């Protein structure tokens, strides 16, 4: 009688090897992408969370440290994004461009690793167990993976945002001081301020990003009409990042406002005695006082950050997977997760 123990063991070994491959590739791609785009992220956050009255003062006093960064109506011309970058480096030092990067790296590396690995595992399970195919399997797998990764790393996202938004450390002296201050004033709930909006944003972000990447990669691979000056994975990732932010920048702005308008916001930028608003109240307040275009504040620096970030993330992920499979060709040939998943 034939024995099935050896084939089952081989399949389990291949699946475990592939899970480790996705974890490593996701972690490396997240780390490299984060280190490259950290300065642009600081500029984007500064613009997105700047209070209305501060923008008015910047417009009236163009000689300030961040001259010309925004107009009174909140528009940020692309040519002035670089000016703000230089201004921060000149007045606050080069280290300010990576302010809040430690919690971001600590957040991005496990988030990226878990998300890439989970998407592959969930997609394989959905396709093999339920008979689903792309794009349905990608949509469900990416939604589940993004939810899990967000809940696991959100406190670090919150601290990263607040550290990047402050100037000269006027609220938190660092990561540990930020955790202690939040826990003392608001408890564990304070570490999850805005998590609901973040999940609402992250799930469609992942769904649109993964699905767009899969579509663009398949399209680019099957046609000669696209430029070949960069690898397919980098170009597909860049296009996917563009699509994602065009759809979801308003939610990103709302999430950032929620993250900085609580105790931190009152300490650093707002008047004493103001109370934090929930997502719906803040959304209505922005619409009433600043208009719809406020939800697209920081569009230029966001795109300058998102497009290369997405390209690096997908491109490095694919490169690490290819290198991994070159070291273990047998496992690479038998893998159950297509290489075009991110």
Helix residue spans in 166-231 (DSSP H): 175-186, 195-221
- Confidence class of residue 211 from pLDDT cuts 50, 70 and 90? very high
For residue 44, pLDDT over 70 is answered with yes
Backbone CA torsion sign across 61, 62, 65, 69? positive
pLDDT digits (tens, 9 = 90+) for 174-188: 778 888 888 888 888
276 vs 341, higher pLDDT: 276
Mean pLDDT, range 92-108, rounded to an integer: 81
With vertex at residue 254, the alpha carbon angle to CA 316 and CA 306, rounded to the nearest 5 degrees, is: 20
Cβ 102 vs Cβ 175: under 8 Å: yes
- Set out the domains of the chain in order of their start, with CATH numbers: 7-59+78-333 (1.50.40.10)
Q: What is the pLDDT of residue 27?
A: 92
Q: Is 94 exposed, middle or buried (0-12, 13-18, 19+ CB in 10 A)?
A: exposed
- Confidence class of residue 10 from pLDDT cuts 50, 70 and 90? very low
Using the structure block, give the residue that is written with the tokens 């167990």. Answer: 129
Q: What is the pLDDT of residue 281?
A: 80
Q: What is the pLDDT of residue 312?
A: 93
Mean pLDDT, range 228-247, rounded to an integer: 85
Cβ 89 vs Cβ 290: under 8 Å: no
Q: What is the pLDDT of residue 322?
A: 87
- Confidence class of residue 238 from pLDDT cuts 50, 70 and 90? very high
pLDDT digits (tens, 9 = 90+) for 183-207: 888 888 888 888 887 888 789 889 9
Which of the given ranges, 31-45, 92-106, 318-332, has the highest pLDDT on average?
31-45
Cβ 191 vs Cβ 154: under 8 Å: yes
- State the DSSP code for 96: G
For residue 2, pLDDT over 90 is answered with no
Least confident range from 56-65, 134-143, 163-172, 264-273: namely: 56-65
Structure tokens at 61: 């006093």
For residue 67, pLDDT over 50 is answered with no
Cβ 302 vs Cβ 249: under 8 Å: yes
Mean pLDDT, range 101-129, rounded to an integer: 85
- Confidence class of residue 73 from pLDDT cuts 50, 70 and 90? very low
pTM of model > 0.85: no
- Residue 221: count other Cβ atoms within 10 Å of its Cβ: 12
For residue 337, pLDDT over 90 is answered with no
Q: What is the pLDDT of residue 276?
A: 67
Q: How far is 10 from 7, CA to CA, in rounded Å?
A: 5
């Amino acid at each position: 009688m034939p024995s099935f123990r050896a084939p089952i063991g081989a399949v389990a070994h291949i699946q475990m090897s592939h899970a480790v491959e996705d974890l490593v590739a996701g972690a490396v791609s997240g780390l490299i992408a984060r280190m490259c785009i950290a300065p642009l992220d600081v500029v984007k956050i500064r613009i997105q969370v700047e209070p209305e009255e501060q923008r008015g003062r910047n417009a009236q006093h163009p000689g300030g440290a961040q001259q010309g960064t925004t107009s009174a109506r909140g528009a940020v011309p692309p040519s002035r994004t670089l000016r703000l970058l230089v201004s921060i480096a000149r007045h606050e030092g080069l280290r300010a461009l990576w302010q809040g990067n430690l919690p971001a790296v600590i957040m991005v590396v496990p988030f990226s690793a878990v998300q890439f690995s989970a998407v592959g595992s969930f997609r394989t399970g959905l396709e093999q167990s339920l008979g689903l195919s792309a794009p349905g399997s990608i949509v469900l797998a990416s939604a589940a993976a993004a939810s899990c990764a967000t809940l696991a790393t959100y406190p670090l996202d919150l601290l990263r945002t607040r550290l990047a938004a402050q100037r000269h450390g006027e609220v938190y002296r660092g990561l540990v001081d930020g955790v202690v201050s939040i826990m003392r004033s608001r408890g564990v709930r304070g570490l999850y301020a805005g998590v609901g909006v973040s999940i609402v944003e992250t799930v469609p972000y992942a769904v649109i990003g993964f699905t767009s990447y899969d579509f663009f990669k398949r399209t680019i691979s099957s046609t000669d009409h696209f430029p070949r000056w960069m690898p397919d994975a980098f170009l597909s990732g860049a296009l996917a990042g563009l699509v994602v932010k065009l759809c979801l920048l308003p939610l990103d702005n709302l999430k950032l406002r929620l993250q900085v308008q609580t105790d931190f916001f009152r300490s650093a930028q707002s008047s004493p005695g103001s109370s934090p608003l929930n997502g719906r109240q803040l959304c209505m307040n922005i619409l009433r006082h600043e208009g719809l275009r406020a939800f697209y504040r920081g569009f230029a620096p966001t795109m300058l950050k998102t497009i290369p970030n997405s390209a690096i993330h997908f491109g490095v992920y694919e490169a690490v997977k290819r290198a991994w499979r070159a070291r273990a060709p047998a496992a690479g040939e038998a893998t159950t997760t297509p290489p075009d998943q991110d």
